[in-house]
Amino acid sequence: MGFRKDFLWGGATAANQCEGGYNEGGRGISNKDLMPIGPDRNPIATGEKKSLDFEKDLYYPSLYGIDMYHRYKEDIALFAEMGFKVYRFSISWTRIFPNGDEDTPNEEGLKFYDSLIDELLKYDINPLVTISHFDCPIHLSKKYGSWKNKKMIDFFAKLATVLFERYKGKVKYWLTFNEINMILHRPFNAAGIFFEENDNRDQIKYQAAHNELVASALATKIGHEIDPDNKIGCMLLGGSTYPYTCNPEDVFEAYLDDRKNYFFTDIHVRGEYPAYALKEIERLGIEIEKTDEEMKLLKDHTVDFVSFSYYSTRVTSTDPEVLKNKTSDNAIFSIKNPYLKSSEWGWQVDPLGLRYTLNQIYDRYQKPLFIVENGYGAIDKPDENGYVEDDYRIDYLRSHIKEMRDAVTLDGVDLLGYTTWGPIDLVSAGTGQMSKRYGFIYVDLDDEGNGTLKRSKKKSFDWYKKVIASNGEDLD
């Protein structure tokens, strides 16, 4: 017995990393549009440096993406050729509400998604819609301070309502916020939040996190009311933390680190603040403004499933010397794991860690799980036809799918599906580069925005097609 018969194989992207068409269809400007490639990107992502207007001489890759706005039909046809059962994509908030606080949505923006969704349905591909993948209209940041402000809950609910109503009967699977825990690490990147000099950052981040959690519960309520068949999930930047040694101090530190992330899913799934979080908030000397009505929303409207991204595990220690051995990773601190190899960007490769993470989350919640991101960012070297022999990518995915299969068949984890990150090359969220490629499909575009945008199949294209056709049996 392998994966369930209706296992959802596919791929995942985000509007801000692939759509482009920033000045078309009445679209407004978002936080992600204002993140240039280069040395300013990280301080902007963390909210240290303000980026509220475009600067001359900087290149802003999310404005252009890979031009999927115009090429989605061609791209979806390629996904269909691989046999995708599901395609995860996100809505560009500013296509629907260019400023975020309008009363009525932008019909042209909705028409774009009508057509994209119909294209998927034509091939029997299930849409999996992320309502906000790090997306926030910049007007909302400027005028209201973004998610610091409770008004955002209603703006988000309005967006969600429009989408649930419009796509009733067409879209069944929804995610509210991509990697909601990212708000603690890269608040501007994740949620359009920037800081002033004397701000109490913990206060702002936890209040914003609370506001997003309430907005998610409210959207879940609305989504279920509009269509009880909707399956609405949360999304965590996943990957468990290992202790560097078996010193109980290290083991406990790793446990505490994991809880900082599970804080979010504990609330999404159980509907209340866990005791450890209340104590931590008290220790930080901050107070979250919460109303009884909000607490009831959290309690009454929990998620249907838990989804997460998985690129790697993390390692921590209590030894200051060991802690110096930092590795670059997906926004959350980790030290180097001496047992693992790393990608060119220092992301450590740990397939068994996926089985471990799946089990940890399933043990904790007993809810259906969905892996909605997993992949290997690498430098590809195409031949003159754009063909790439990406055996390294195949190896990464094969080893992770094997572990995922063991989690299902040997451990009994209830897994709904698997969408690889970036089935087509797209702009990197972290660095803004195109040269960090994840796709089965090569896109001729470089880090400065030069290229023909031509799509071509890599070696992994046929490999993944075979994996899907065999429902994960044939991984060779």
Q: Which residues bind ligand BG6 (CB under 6 A)?
A: 14, 17, 178-179, 237, 309, 330, 373, 377, 421, 428-431, 436
Which residue number, 146 or 428, has a Cβ lying nearer to ligand BG6? Answer: 428
Least distance from ligand BG6 to the Cβ atom of residue 143, Å? 26
| Lookup: tokens for 456 | 């071509």
| Lookup: tokens for 426 | 């797209």
Least distance from ligand BG6 to the Cβ atom of residue 191, Å? 13
Q: How far apart are CA 199 and CA 204, in angstroms?
A: 8
Which residue number, 317 or 374, has a Cβ lying nearer to ligand BG6? Answer: 374
Least distance from ligand BG6 to the Cβ atom of residue 18, Å? 10
The Cβ of residue 232 has, within 10 Å, a number of other Cβ atoms equal to 25
Least distance from ligand BG6 to the Cβ atom of residue 173, Å? 17
Backbone angles phi, psi at 101, to 5 degrees: -115, 20
DSSP 355: H
Residue 107 annotated among the catalytic residues of the structure: no
Least distance from ligand BG6 to the Cβ atom of residue 248, Å? 31
User: Are the beta carbons of 159 and 28 closer than 8 angstroms?
Assistant: no
Give the 3-state DSSP-derived string for 123-168, with helices as H, strands as E and coil as C.
Answer: CCCEEEEEEECCCCEHHHHHHHCHHHCCHHHHHHHHHHHHHHHHCC
Which residue number, 436 or 458, has a Cβ lying nearer to ligand BG6? Answer: 436
What count of Cα atoms within 13 Å lies in the side-chain half-sphere of residue 101? Answer: 13
Which residue in the block uniquely carries the two structure tokens 């260019």?
98
Q: Which residues pair with 231 in a beta bridge?
A: 173
Which residue number, 273 or 418, has a Cβ lying nearer to ligand BG6? Answer: 418
Which one of the listed residues 179, 212, 253, 403 is annotated catalytic? 179
Which residue number, 40 or 101, has a Cβ lying nearer to ligand BG6? Answer: 40
User: Are the beta carbons of 208 and 193 closer than 8 angstroms?
Assistant: yes
| Lookup: tokens for 444 | 């001729």
* Closest among 107, 214, 211 to 166, alpha carbons compared: 107
CA 357, 362, 367, 368 dihedral sign is positive
Which one of the listed residues 19, 212, 294, 373 is annotated catalytic? 373
Which residue number, 31 or 178, has a Cβ lying nearer to ligand BG6? Answer: 178
Least distance from ligand BG6 to the Cβ atom of residue 451, Å? 18
Residue 373 annotated among the catalytic residues of the structure: yes
| Lookup: tokens for 177 | 């916020």
Which residues are part of the catalytic machinery? 179, 373
